[in-house]
Amino acid sequence: MLKWFDLATKPRLEGTEELYFRRTEQGLDFNTYFNYIPYEKLKKYTKISNVKTENNSVFVECVEPANVNCAVIFCTYKREKYILKNVQYLSQNLKLHSELNCKIIVVDNAKTLTKSDLPDDVILVPNINNGGSGGFRKGMETACKIVGFTHFLLMDDDVEIEFVSIQKLLNFLSFLKPEYSDISVAGSMLFMDKPTYQFEAGGHFSEDGKQKGFGHYIDLTQEENLLLNEQENDINYGGWWFMCMPSKYAEQGQFPLPFFMKYDDVEYALRCKQKIITLNGVGIWHEKFESKYNSAAEYYNTRNYLHLCSLHCKDFTPKKALRFAKKQIKAKQKRQQYQMAEAVKKGYEDYLKGLDYLQALDAEQNHKEICKLNYKYLTYDEIEKQYGVRPKDNKFYPRPGKKRLLFALIPRKFVFTDHFHDRPAQYLFSRYAVHCDADRNCGYVTGRLR
């Protein structure tokens, strides 16, 4: 019999024990997220004929497993705290599992890392700051020059990894039936601050421009949610926080469009027509996207979403693009976010210039210009010193209901809102707004145009 994966028994993060095992009167129960055995998917996609658990590992019977040789590609930009820890962790575990053919490639968009910072077996690729899409392209191009890779695993740098996800994934790929050899696997994203909860396990982008993620906000310690999470969904893209795909797409000349960030993973999956599945236990923990929310993100969201729709949606007209941009601009203006409104406008204008303009654009310089529209976050102490008011921790309006919105109708000089979860009505009759990030105890202040 062949080993599939070792049962994961040592929680990587505090409060995640039940993702690994449950304590019962009979002993330990390993029917958990990381140790889950997806019998239906094994039957459908693999050549496995038998599964057996003994000596703290899961073994399988499989005739002629395929050779899987994977390039793990990280793209990083000034996140040494994360990337160095993750690369060291992966490198150490790969040395303990020599049966896994894996090579780590780190694309450094900031050029702040040196070869001596990384383990000897890691390939370091200095790169210009052309964003995640440019960094992953550079990593793919580097991997294509090394003969023998069958798969690429794209991963964000600011994540926490459980090694069993890598072991479970790569061996699963080696057991695939020939007719499913081109399967891609989208790893789940779990929240760093609520580490038993899942953000998403694959998603679907429809031809009318609507986007849907699967498995949103479910608690993975619950057995019924594991069954729900294991269902086959109509997945046509996966987030590049953890996405494994056959190397053939890049070898055939398919590379990410220069989107810098946002929607590059969706566009690439649709263009390559990837066949995507998910597996319980294959995923990572990631910081919330709220902490990265700024005007630059709105620029890329607008520009790239419109390009995505132009390429992959039915009947997407210039009129629809204009309507989308106007709606976004109006929403930002209602929130006193005039710099974000300007970023949306700029994104729409750059979209109108076409893909040729995008291909020729100096992405690094353009990003510097766009970032000038970002708001400066101040600590609560700085806000109090400059404006004479202080946000009360979690006492502003978190994702308000209708009753709370009635309170917003009372005229006031300052209103306190969540910088990510808010509604336009919260800003009515207020002269200034403090957009608060309660997780970091900071925020930025805006004022209504007269």
Residue type, 193: D
**Of 449 and 11, the one with more pLDDT:** 11
Q: Same domain, yes or no, for 354 and 271? A: no
- 115, 54, 35, 109: which is closest to 79 by C-alpha? 109
Q: What is the pLDDT of residue 404?
A: 59
Q: What is the mean pLDDT of residues 265-275?
A: 97
Strand partners, 416: 434
Q: What is the pLDDT of residue 293?
A: 87
Alpha carbon distance 135, 230 (integer Å): 31
Q: Same domain, yes or no, for 247 and 311? A: no
pLDDT at 312 over 50: yes
Alpha carbon distance 281, 394 (integer Å): 33
Alpha carbon distance 398, 396 (integer Å): 6
* pLDDT digits 0-9 by tens, 297-306: 999 999 999 9
Q: At what angle do helices 131-144 and 264-272 cross, to 10 degrees?
A: 40
Give the pair of three-digit tokens for residue 270: 């649709």
For the chain, how many structural domains are there in total? 3
Task: Say what the alpha-carbon torsion angle 433, 438, 443, 446 is, to the nearest 10 degrees.
Answer: -10
- The rounded percent of the chain whose pLDDT value lies above 90 is 86
Q: What is the pLDDT of residue 420?
A: 87
Residue type, 209: G
Q: Same domain, yes or no, for 180 and 154? A: yes
Query: 287, 313, 342: which is the final residue of a domain?
Result: 287
* pLDDT digits 0-9 by tens, 110-137: 999 999 999 999 999 999 999 999 999 9
Mean pLDDT value across the chain: 93
- 157, 115, 173: which is closest to 292 by C-alpha? 157
- CA distance to 124, 191, 343, 347, 418, per residue, from 290 (Å): 30, 12, 18, 20, 10
CATH number at residue 51: 3.90.550.60
Q: What is the mean pLDDT of residues 248-268?
A: 96
Q: Same domain, yes or no, for 267 and 304? A: no
Q: Same domain, yes or no, for 325 and 403? A: no
Query: 287, 310, 326: which is the final residue of a domain?
Result: 287
pLDDT at 407 over 80: no
Q: What is the mean pLDDT of residues 220-246?
A: 96
Residue count (the chain):
450
* pLDDT digits 0-9 by tens, 368-384: 999 999 999 999 999 99
Strand partners, 124: 106
Q: Same domain, yes or no, for 264 and 227? A: yes
Q: Same domain, yes or no, for 202 and 224? A: yes
Alpha carbon distance 251, 88 (integer Å): 28
Q: Same domain, yes or no, for 315 and 336? A: yes
Residue type, 31: N
Q: Same domain, yes or no, for 319 and 434? A: no
Burial 68-92 (b: 16+ CB within 10 A, else e): bbbbbbbbbbeeeebbbebbeebbe
Query: 371, 403, 423: which is the final residue of a domain?
Result: 371
pLDDT at 394 over 60: no
Strand partners, 436: 418, 443
* DSSP helix/strand/coil, 92: helix
In Å, how far from its chain's centre is CA 71?
A: 19
Give the pair of three-digit tokens for residue 205: 């982008």
**Of 291 and 109, the one with more pLDDT:** 109
Sign of dihedral through CA atoms 140, 205, 163, 151? negative
Element (H, E) at 333: helix 318-334
Residue with tokens 């040592």: 10
* pLDDT digits 0-9 by tens, 26-47: 889 999 999 999 999 999 999 9
Residue 40: domain span: 2-287
The end-to-end CA distance of the chain, in Å, is 74
Q: What is the pLDDT of residue 403?
A: 56
Alpha helices in 126-205 (DSSP H): 131-144, 163-174
* pLDDT digits 0-9 by tens, 48-105: 999 999 989 999 999 999 999 999 999 999 999 899 999 999 999 999 999 999 999 9
Residue with tokens 């930009």: 77
Q: What is the pLDDT of residue 409?
A: 62
Strands 57-62 and 48-54: antiparallel
Looking at 111-120, 247-256, 395-404, which range is the least confident one? 395-404
Q: Same domain, yes or no, for 308 and 267? A: no
Q: What is the mean pLDDT of residues 144-162?
A: 95
Strand partners, 151: 70, 246
CB within 8 Å of 229: residues ≥ 6 apart: 188, 198, 201, 215, 218, 220, 278, 280
3-state secondary structure 35-57: CCCCHHHHHHHECEEEEEEECCE
Q: Same domain, yes or no, for 86 and 222? A: yes
Q: Same domain, yes or no, for 266 and 316? A: no
pLDDT at 398 over 50: no
Alpha carbon distance 294, 300 (integer Å): 10
Alpha carbon distance 435, 382 (integer Å): 14
Dump strand ranges (E) for 322-411.
378-379
Element (H, E) at 277: strand 275-277
Q: What is the pLDDT of residue 402?
A: 56
pLDDT at 242 over 80: yes
pLDDT at 291 over 80: no
Strands 151-156 and 69-76: parallel
* pLDDT digits 0-9 by tens, 161-179: 999 999 999 999 999 999 9
